Amino acid sequence: MLKVLLIAGARPNFMKVAPIYAEMKRRPSEFVPMIVHTGQHYDAAMSDAFFDDLGMPKPDIYLGVGSGSHAVQTAKIMTEFEPVVLEHKPEWVLVVGDVNSTIACALVCAKLGIKIAHVEAGLRSRDRAMPEEINRILTDSISDLLLTTSQDADVNLDQEGIRGRRVKFVGNVMIDSLLEHLKIAENSTVRTDLGIEADEYGVMTLHRPSNVDEKDVFEGILDALVTVAEKLPIVFPVHPRTRGKIAEFGFDAKIASSNIRLIDPLGYLDFMRLYSGAKLVLTDSGGLQEETTVLGIPCLTLRHNTERPVTIELGTNVLVGTDPEKIKQAAAEVLDGGKQREDAKIPPLWDGKASRRICDELLRFTK
C-alpha cells in the first residue's frame, strides 16, 4: 500500500484533491491517503463549506499557517510541513495547482527525498509577473511525476527538458469534481434565493491583484461591466479582498446604480448552481475557464494571458484582457446571438476519470 499525503492549501485545491482522495479510498488495498490542509486559505467557514460540499472528511492534518506575504506564507508552510513528513514518512506527496502551498510542500519533499506528484503540471501563462507562474515552473522542476491536464502542457514540459516516463497526460481532475457534483448542485436554492432564471443573467468573478489593485484598471473593467449589465444582469460573488478595493476606490455608488449585483462568496455547490445557469461568465479565474468549456457556456477571461490555452483552442473561452472596449465588444457578440462557438469541443480526457488515471500512474511509477 502507498501512503500518500494530499496537499490542499487554497479553495481551488479542494476540488482537485476531493476526487483523488475518493478514488484512493475506493482502493484500500493500494492506497492510504491522508489530507493535509495547510490553512493558506484560512476562512474556517468557507473551508468547512467546501469540504462538506465535496463530501470530504475533516483534514487529517491542519497546519493553520494563515496569511502573510508570499515569502512569509511559503516559509511558514515549509516549517510546519517538514515535521509532518518526518513523522508520517509517506511514499508520495501529491500537490495540486500552483498556490504557495504547492511549491512549499514540494520543496520540503525534494530536500527530504520524498517522491512528489504534481497534478496540473505543465501549465504556462508565460507571465512571470504572476506568482502562480513561478510556483508552477519551480514545482515542475523538482517533481518526480508530472500529471498533465492537456497535451499542450506536455509540450511545455518537453521544451523545458522534462520528458519521458515522468510526464503523464491524465486529463483534468477539476472536471471529475464538476461532473460528479453537477446533479447534486441542482438541490441548491441559490437561483431562487436571488430571484433569477437560467440563461437570463451573467456571472462575474474578479480577484487578481493585477485587476483589482490598480484603480484605473479596475474602474475600466467596471465601466465595461456596467454597459454589459444594461443588456444582461450580472451577479458578482465578491472576494473579500475585491470588496475592500471597491470601498477603497469609492466604486460602491457606480455599482449600486447599475445592474451589477454584489453577493457574498458562495460555497462550491451554490456557486456551481449559479454559474452553470449563466448565459455568460466573465472571470479572471483559471478553473472557471475549464468548467465553462465543459458546460458550453461562453466565457470572457479578463486577463492578457492564460495558462489554459486549450479552453480557447477547443472550448468556449475568449481572452479579452482588461480593455473596456474589447470586453464590451466580446460580450455583445455573445448576447446578440452572434459568436457562439459552434465548433467548441470538450478537450481530450476531460471525462470525469482523471482521478482514476492519476492513481493508476502513481502505482505504475512506484513499481
Residues annotated as part of the active site: 207
DSSP state letter for 92:
E
Q: For residue 115, which of 140, 82, 143, 88 has the smallest C-alpha distance?
A: 143
DSSP string, 187-200: T--HHHHHT--TTS
Side by side, the strands of the sheet bearing 92-96 are 61-62, 31-37, 2-8, 92-96, 115-121, 145-148, 167-169
Scanning 1-130, the segments in alpha helix (DSSP H) are: 11-25, 44-53, 70-88, 100-112
Direct distance between the N- and C-terminal alpha carbons of the chain, in angstroms, rounded to an integer: 12
Cell of 278: 449563466
Cell of 222: 467596471
**Dihedral in degrees, nearest 10, Cα atoms 334, 347, 351, 168:** -150
Residue 102 burial class via C-beta count within 10 angstroms: exposed 0-12, middle 13-18, buried 19 and up = buried
- Give the DSSP H/E element, type plus range, for residue 329: helix 324-335
Residue 195 burial class via C-beta count within 10 angstroms: exposed 0-12, middle 13-18, buried 19 and up = exposed
